[in-house]
Structure 1
Amino acid sequence: MTHVIEVTVFASAALVMALVAGVFLAFSDFVMRSLGGAAPGTGIEAMQKINREVYGSVFLVGLLGLAPVSLGLAGYGVMSMSGPAAGWIIVGGLIYFGGTFLVTMLGNVPMNKRLDLMVVSAPETISYWEVYARRWTRWNHLRTAASAIAAACLLIGVVLYA
């Protein structure tokens, strides 16, 4: 029974990581490009609203909930597993934690907080918006790739383990 539980946990974490990657991909692929193509005030106001809404979302539960889960998976791989499956599980957990969670907390969130405090129509906000959109999107590309790669690593690990 333990084996079934382990496989279920690994596969579930991979699925949620893939869903997180999908949300990030939408922003990298077309949401930020659309907001950047709108009038500056419109794009700024929309992004402020998106950033406020995310706090009550299921997405945030998945994004943040996976942080301790990913470290737990990596730790479990080190302490309780062996062979190639362990390596994939460890790497997947560490990639998610560093490339998704830490990048979010240290890169995107501080930028979001700064933007949230700004007055939409102020000249300094419009100037910051150009920097924000470019830099935020670059960090988001990294989060997208990290989430997707972490999900793939877990999936490979679970297939090898199963």
Structure 2
Amino acid sequence: MLLWFNAAGCGLLAGLFFTFSAFAMKALGRMEPSGGIAAMNSINETILRSLFMPLFWGTTLASLGLAAIALSGWNEPAAKSMLIGGLVYIFGMFVCTIAIEVPLNNELARVDPGSDAALPVWQRYQRRWTGWNHVRTLACLVACVLFIQALVERG
């Protein structure tokens, strides 16, 4: 069940992150900086009270669990796929989110959208946040594929 949950969860998160990488950030960037900042801050506040959070934490804990299961049963079918999928997800999605994306979100939340300082903060935010979001998108996609591969390997 853990593999099924994580394959589906990673796929959902890959799609969410892809949305931001492919067009949402471009659309926000076309807005006046004050509007783009306000919209992104609203998204960041709303996501904390959404179904994203249980999925975010659930897939992270499941990835840790799958990596541990893989290490304890290294000779079992799918162990390598589970371990690599878990590690890619933990480092590429979770660590990236906590260490880079959240601090960028916090910095954006502190800026006054109508101030002169808003434009350079917004421009830097868009560039850095989107670049690291590409990493999260790819990590979720790779982990999803590896977890599906593990399901196939287990029969």
Give the alignment's TM-score, normalised by structure 2. Answer: 0.96
**1:18 and 2:11 correspond:** yes
Cα separation, 1, equivalents of 2:53 and 2:122: 23
Q: Which moved more, 1:27-36 or 1:61-70?
A: 61-70
Superposition RMSD in Å: 1.1
**1:126 and 2:119 correspond:** yes
Gaps of 5+ in 2: none
User: Aligned match of 2:62 in 30, 50, 69?
Assistant: 69
- Which residue does the alignment assign to 2:50? 57
Task: Give how far 1:84 is off.
Answer: 5.1
Count of matched residue positions in the alignment of Structure 1 and Structure 2: 155
SS at match of 2:113: coil
| Cα deviation 1:71-128 (Å, max 9, x = unaligned) | 1100101103525511001100111000000000011000001111111111112211
- 1:36-47 aligned at under 5 Å gives the runs 36-47=29-40
| Alignment-mate amino acid for residue 124 of structure 1 | A
Cα separation, 2, equivalents of 1:50 and 1:98: 24
| 8 Å Cα contact 2:33-2:118 kept in structure 1 | no
Cα separation, 2, equivalents of 1:103 and 1:125: 24
- 1:8-157 aligned at under 5 Å gives the runs 8-83=1-76, 85-157=78-150
Gaps of 5+ in 1: 1-7
Cα separation, 2, equivalents of 1:159 and 1:81: 17
Give the alignment's TM-score, normalised by structure 1. Answer: 0.92
- Which residue does the alignment assign to 2:151? 158
Task: Give how far 1:65 is off.
Answer: 2.1
| Alignment-mate amino acid for residue 70 of structure 2 | G
| 8 Å Cα contact 2:2-2:62 kept in structure 1 | no
SS at match of 1:119: coil
SS at match of 2:78: helix
Cα separation, 2, equivalents of 1:11 and 1:68: 14
- Which residue does the alignment assign to 1:5? none
| Alignment-mate amino acid for residue 52 of structure 2 | F
Q: Which has the higher helix share?
A: 1
SS at match of 1:24: helix
